[in-house]
Amino acid sequence: MTCGAGSHSSDVQPLRPGQTSITVATGPSVSWKLRAEYVKTVATPFGVNAKGETYGVPEDLNGTPDLQEAPLSAGIPGGYLTTKQLTCASGGDVSNPTQAVAWDTFRQHTNTVIPVYKSDGTTVIGHCVVGPTGPGVRTVPLTTVAKRFCTSTSTPSTMVVLPSVVGEPGATAASSIKTLRLVPQESYVSSSAVPQGDVVAETPGAGAKVPKGALVVLTVSTGPPPAS
């Protein structure tokens, strides 16, 4: 925060739990800059609907759900787009240079309208335009785009089988779980049988079928208990 000619100061103002705003009061000749930082990131498991489809906001930690929240520009709060349809309509299935050139030419003067669903993945509550708009732009059905550029617009299987990660280092096990688009969460327990840092147990257990985005608890050894 600038306090005078050629001088400046800075101050850290941590937010209290539940606080969502901060007020900066200055004089007319004072300039200021606000920088906000996350101090902790918590992975929130995706929701799962009755069909076993995951829904939520794509994240680095969780990956991409089967139904992702519609952008604000769609003007439909609480709406979701199927990831497969959005990927297809956006050219995300293009797989080689020849297709890429064809896609760029195709998309210059076309757009595609895809449905916006409730989180149940069935009830249509609106539509979202993917691509340019305006004079000279024509709307092409998703089925036409799919035939030319997409591998599939159907919903993929959302259930995965948990591997056994017991005995692995906690970081390695967590990485394996994330690869399956699941959310690992560690808990800790003392153990004389399992080395410190290795996984003692996983919940649900190995072989269980769970939906993508589900929480998997990894119980990690802290080593032998203190001597009494």
**Long-range pairs for 169-178: beta carbons < 8 A, 24 or more residues apart:** 169/197, 169/198, 169/199, 170/197, 170/198, 170/199, 170/218, 170/220, 173/199, 173/202, 173/218, 174/218, 177/216, 177/218, 178/61, 178/63
E-state strands within the chain: 2-4, 7-8, 47-48, 54-56, 67-69, 80-82, 110-117, 124-130, 138-139, 159-161, 183-189, 199-203, 209-211, 215-221
What pLDDT shows up at residue 72? 80
Torsional class of 6: left (φ above 0), alpha (ψ -120 to 50), beta (otherwise): left
pTM of the model: 0.53
Q: What is the pLDDT of residues 27-68, one digit of tens each?
A: 888 887 877 776 666 667 888 888 888 999 887 666 788 999
Cα separation, 161 vs 62, in Å, equals 17
- The candidate with the shortest Cα–Cα distance to 202, out of 224, 177, 181, is 177
E-state strands within 49-123: 54-56, 67-69, 80-82, 110-117
Q: Are 110 and 149 in contact (CB under 8 A)?
A: no
Position 6 pLDDT exceeds 80: no
What pLDDT shows up at residue 104? 93
What pLDDT shows up at residue 178? 86
Task: Give me the chain's average pLDDT, please.
Answer: 83
Mean pLDDT along residues 17-24: 78
Q: Which of 2-11, 26-35, 51-60, 115-124 has the lowest mean pLDDT?
A: 2-11
Q: Return the CATH fold of 159-221.
A: Trypsin Inhibitor V; Chain A (3.30.10)
What pLDDT shows up at residue 152? 62
Q: What is the pLDDT of residues 158-200, one digit of tens each?
A: 678 889 999 999 999 999 988 887 888 888 999 999 999 999 9
What pLDDT shows up at residue 50? 86
Give the distance between the most distant pair of CA atoms in the chain: 81
What pLDDT shows up at residue 11? 74
Q: Are 195 and 223 in contact (CB under 8 A)?
A: yes
**Helix ranges, 64-169 (H):** 83-89, 97-107, 142-149
What pLDDT shows up at residue 119? 93
Position 127 pLDDT exceeds 80: yes
Cα separation, 133 vs 112, in Å, equals 10
**Residues 205-224 as b or e (16 or more Cβ within 10 Å = b):** eeeeebbbbbbbebbbbeee
What pLDDT shows up at residue 143? 86
Domain residue ranges in the chain: 67-149, 159-221
Position 139 pLDDT exceeds 80: yes
